[in-house]
Amino acid sequence: MKEERKRKKILSEDDYVNGVIEGNRTILAQAITLIESNSPAHMQTAQNVLTRLLPYTGRSIRIGITGVPGAGKSTLIESFGSLLCERGHRVAVLTVDPSSTITKGSILGDKTRMDSLSRNPNAYIRPSASGGSLGGIARKSRESMLICEAAGYDVILIETVGVGQSEVTVRSMVDFFLLVMLTGAGDELQGIKKGIMELADSIIINKADGDNKIKALAAKAEFNRILHLLQPSTPGWISQAYTASSLTGEGIEEIWLEIKSFQDKTIHSGYFHQRRQKQMLDWMYNMVEEHLRFSFLNHSEVNQSIPDIEKSVMNGTLTATLAAKHLLTIFESNGRRNIDARDKA
């Protein structure tokens, strides 16, 4: 009974802050759970904790990892993360998966496949919470990343599980973006490849072992030709393709050497810090947009008007532009009334 009461103890802001800074994994997990909570009652406490931890953040290299289905991202991350832990680094793995709101299971499956890394005392693996939207998940992943940095993790790996807009989102929160590819993935993936390749700082042709090694080397040469024609994702950096094998470990260390070279070069040019500053501002404005969208969709008078306006749009008696204007007028009118009421008071 005493243990049960202890587990249910409500932590103070000091408990969260001190626990995270001290590297207490239990409190780290609780702090991230607090950050992920959608409850308005937790929001202020979460932001207060995060604000107090900000001076301890920013001391990591943030690496985004994406790839086509079946590319072996999880096994690559496990091999890569294990190598870094052996070198004395502390590694946190976070995931961004908008599809998790439907499937509920793909991320936990990835965590299971990273069994060895998840048991390493210098590693921490955290699935993203279902946020109901990519924006919600992105906010939680960004803030979880900061919490992990404050806890002393100096390498943050952010894996994108979904395909599409999640790649752009992850690119917007990391320093280095790694694309994991396979040989012979098929023509149906060419569209995905091109869009993501424009975001990549490096491409890894994975599973370059056994009979597949010759094909992987040929794919490497092909991707390097394509990259030569694309504008670099990071100014002053030439993106290149490499081969690696999670099975044999070949090429895993080269990934880290490439990332360190990138970090040194961009810090020297000043772009490393410029990108981070821009990312923070972009994040701020994204949060403004998300808050406005939430306020609009939860506005009682707007909700009452939506059914009739939707019918008018579907019947062709009202244009979409005018319909949007009507709804926004209702929303803005209520805001003006609240301001007038405050001024009179």
| CA distance linking residue 127 with residue 189, whole number of Å | 26
Full 3-state SS string of 38-107: CCHHHHHHHHHHHHHHHHHCCCCEEEEEEECCCCCHHHHHHHHHHHHHHCCCCEEEEEECCCHHHHCCHH
Boundary (domain end) residue, out of 11, 40, 55: 55
Number of domains in the chain: 3
In a domain, 293, yes or no: no
Boundary (domain end) residue, out of 36, 55, 74: 55
Give yes or no: residues 33 and 138 share one domain. no
In a domain, 120, yes or no: yes
Give yes or no: residues 36 and 99 share one domain. no
Q: What pLDDT, on a 0 to 100 scale, did the predictor assign at position 226?
A: 87
Domain extent for 310: 299-344
Angle CA(309)–CA(312)–CA(314) in degrees, nearest 5? 110
Give yes or no: residues 93 and 61 share one domain. yes
Q: What pLDDT, on a 0 to 100 scale, did the predictor assign at position 263?
A: 98
Give yes or no: residues 148 and 34 share one domain. no
In a domain, 189, yes or no: yes
Q: How many of the other CB atoms lie within 10 Å of CB of 33? A: 14
In a domain, 323, yes or no: yes
CATH number reported for the structural domain that contains residue 221 in this entry: 3.40.50.300
Given CA atoms 150, 151, 157, 159 in this order, what sign does their dihedral have?
negative
Tokens representing 90 are 């502390």
Give yes or no: residues 45 and 80 share one domain. no
Q: Are strands 155-160 and 91-96 parallel, antiparallel or unpaired?
A: parallel
Give yes or no: residues 241 and 116 share one domain. yes
Q: What pLDDT, on a 0 to 100 scale, did the predictor assign at position 55?
A: 97
> Phi and psi dihedrals of 95, rounded to 5?
-130, 150
In a domain, 279, yes or no: no
Which of 187, 240, 230 minimizes the C-alpha distance to 68?
187
Give yes or no: residues 19 and 83 share one domain. no
| CA distance linking residue 70 with residue 182, whole number of Å | 8
Q: Are strands 202-205 and 176-181 parallel, antiparallel or unpaired?
A: parallel
In a domain, 278, yes or no: no
Please indicate, yes or no, whether the overall pTM of this predicted structure exceeds 0.75. yes
In a domain, 260, yes or no: yes
* Average pLDDT, 10 consecutive residues per value, the chain (345 residues): 58 96 96 88 92 96 88 92 97 78 45 80 82 60 95 95 73 94 60 74 93 91 89 92 93 96 97 96 89 89 94 96 95 68 54
57: left (phi over 0), alpha (psi -120 to 50) or beta: beta
Q: What pLDDT, on a 0 to 100 scale, did the predictor assign at position 33?
A: 93
Q: What pLDDT, on a 0 to 100 scale, did the predictor assign at position 244?
A: 96
Q: What pLDDT, on a 0 to 100 scale, did the predictor assign at position 238?
A: 93
In a domain, 86, yes or no: yes
The residue type at 175: D
Give yes or no: residues 246 and 322 share one domain. no
Q: What pLDDT, on a 0 to 100 scale, did the predictor assign at position 98?
A: 60
Q: What pLDDT, on a 0 to 100 scale, did the predictor assign at position 105?
A: 41
Give yes or no: residues 314 and 178 share one domain. no
Give yes or no: residues 79 and 211 share one domain. yes
Q: How many of the other CB atoms lie within 10 Å of CB of 248? A: 13
Give yes or no: residues 105 and 199 share one domain. yes
